[in-house]
Structure 1
Amino acid sequence: MDKYLSVTAITKYIKYKFDQDPHLQNVFIKGEISNFKRHSSGHLYFALKDNKGVLSAMMFKSNASQLSFNPKEGDQVLIEGRIGLYETRGAYQIYVQSMQLDGVGLLYEKFEALKKELAEKGYFKEEHKLSIPKYPQKIAVLTASTGAAIRDICSTLDKRYPLAEQVLISTLVQGKEAKDNIINNIEKADAMGVDVIIVGRGGGSIEDLWSFNEREVVEAIYNCSTPVISAVGHETDTTLSDFVSDVRAATPTQAAVIATPDIQALYQLINNGRQYITKHIAQKIQRDKQQLKQLSSYYKLKTPTLLYDQETQKLDDYQKQLNRSMEQLFLSEKHRLNILHNKLSIGPIINKKNQFRQDFNRLNIMQTQLMNRILTQKQQLLKGQVVQLDTLSPTQTMLRGYSIIEKNDKIITSKNDLQVDDEITINLKDGKINANVKEIR
Structure 2
Amino acid sequence: MKLKTLTVSQVNDYLANYIGTNPIFSNMSVGGEVFNLKKTGYGYTFLSLKDDESKLNAITYLEKFDVQEGDFITVSGKISFYKKSGTYSIIINSYEKKGQGNNYEQFKILYEKLEKLGYFKYELKKPIIKFPQKIGIITSAKGAAVKDIISVITRRYPKVSLIIYDSKMQGIDVENNVIQGINTLSDLSVDTIIISRGGGDTDDLSVFNSQLIAKAVFDCDIPIISAIGHEIDYVICDFVADMRAPTPSIAGELSVPNLQEVYDTIDNFEKSIKISYKNIINLYNSKIDSYRFLIQSNTPYKKINQKKLSLLELTSFIEQAYKDKIQSYKDRLFYISSILQENNYNNILSKGFALVEKDDVFIKTVKDLALGDKLTVRLEDGNISVVVEDIKNIIK
TM-score, normalised relative to structure 1: 0.44
More contact order relative to length (CA 8 Å, sep ≥ 6):
2
Q: Greater helix share, 1 or 2?
A: 1
